[in-house]
Amino acid sequence: MFRMKITFLGTSAMLPTKERNPNAIFISCNNEGILIDCAEGTQRQLRYAGISPTKVTKLLITHWHGDHVLGIPGLMQSLGASNYTKKLEIYGPKGSKNFFKNMMNGLAFKSRIKYELKEIENKKFFENDDFYLEAENVKHSITCLSYNLIEKDKLKINIDYTKKFNLIRHPLLGELQRGKDIVYQGKKIKVKDATIVKKGKKISFILDTYYDKKLVSIAKNADLLICESTWIERDKLIDKEHLSAKDSSLLAKRAKVKRLILTHFSQRYKNLDEMLKEAKKEFNNVELAQDLMNLEI
Ligand SMILES: [Zn+2]
Ligand SMILES: [Zn+2]
């Protein structure tokens, strides 16, 4: 069965605060451990969350601003010291190979683990039986990616229907679930009658960006949108390359998502009540992320 658990490892923009680490989100789903961004301090946050860093199978980088990537060398080094036998798959926007090389060249570092870094843009870049991952460029001061994790639709057996044929606990049910019509005791049983489609969930991750119509199509109909909300609208004049709570909640409304979680907050706010209030004006099913907050999907 496909189960997904999301852990927020860092929810601050730009600077760490006493309460919040900069950005990183860990998603555990079946055999995969997906880390979206790896800010400074992410390893420690993983420890606090009770997640072994060796669980990470994929590192998805949104962009190369420090508050999203400064933890990468430390993570690589720790995996090398931890008997990590997998090949770490790293994905990032165009230019990532160069940034990565330069970052590692700044250290007396020799990788003791296998890894492969792929530069991606606007496409599906990973797929297994349960889900797929896609990336799309968003507008920020440097090249930046949003990510979607999309669970595949599954066919469930409609037992009320199949028991009419006395077809219970039979290997042929597996064929139906794989989408193939079958013949049982001379009778044809069609997939469309004998199964029910269980729609897969869509989770969208939109980090640093300014508001753009394209975001609506990226997050369209998502079951959950995790979205940056650096500012309260009145402060956005300082820097327009990030979203405000008003932007993020309008995006959620326009994209018809079911649930919105805001993250990546400016350290100027000691209290986020006004942030939440601003978001609720546009979209009611919204909450604020906190470091080490977990949710199961
Ligand atoms: Zn950022
Ligand atoms: Zn940024």
Active site (annotated) includes residue 67: yes
The mean predicted confidence, pLDDT, of the chain is: 95
* Residues within 5 Å of ion ligand 2, judged at the Cβ atom: 65, 208
Ligand located closest to 141 CA: 2
- Alpha-carbon distances, residue 72 vs 7, 61, 99, 180, 185 (angstroms): 18, 10, 11, 45, 59
pLDDT (0 to 100) of residue 33: 98
Answer for the pair 27, 149: CB distance below 8 angstroms, yes or no: yes
Annotated active-site residue in 37, 67, 208, 247: 67
Residues 6 or more apart whose Cβ sits within 8 Å of residue 20 = 10, 11, 12, 265, 267, 290, 291
Which pLDDT tens digit goes with each residue over 169-227?
889 899 999 999 999 999 999 999 999 999 999 999 999 999 999 999 999 999 999 99
Looking at residue 244, what DSSP letter applies? B
Residue 1 pLDDT > 80: no
Q: Specify the 3-state DSSP secondary structure of 12.
A: strand
CA of 9 to the centre of ligand 1 (A): 14
Ligand located closest to 63 CA: 2
Ligand located closest to 22 CA: 1
Which pLDDT tens digit goes with each residue over 124-178?
999 999 999 999 999 999 999 999 999 999 999 999 999 999 888 889 899 999 9
Residue carrying the six token digits 């790293």: 90
CA 175 to CA 164: how far, in whole Å? 18
CA of 37 to the centre of ligand 1 (A): 10
CA 48 to CA 59: how far, in whole Å? 19
CA of 230 to the centre of ligand 1 (A): 8
CA of 234 to the centre of ligand 1 (A): 19
Answer for the pair 280, 273: CB distance below 8 angstroms, yes or no: no
CA of 66 to the centre of ligand 2 (A): 8
Ligand located closest to 37 CA: 1
Which pLDDT tens digit goes with each residue over 66-123?
999 999 999 999 999 998 999 999 999 999 999 999 999 999 988 899 999 999 997 8
CA of 106 to the centre of ligand 2 (A): 21
Band (40; pLDDT cuts 50, 70, 90): very high
CA of 240 to the centre of ligand 2 (A): 11
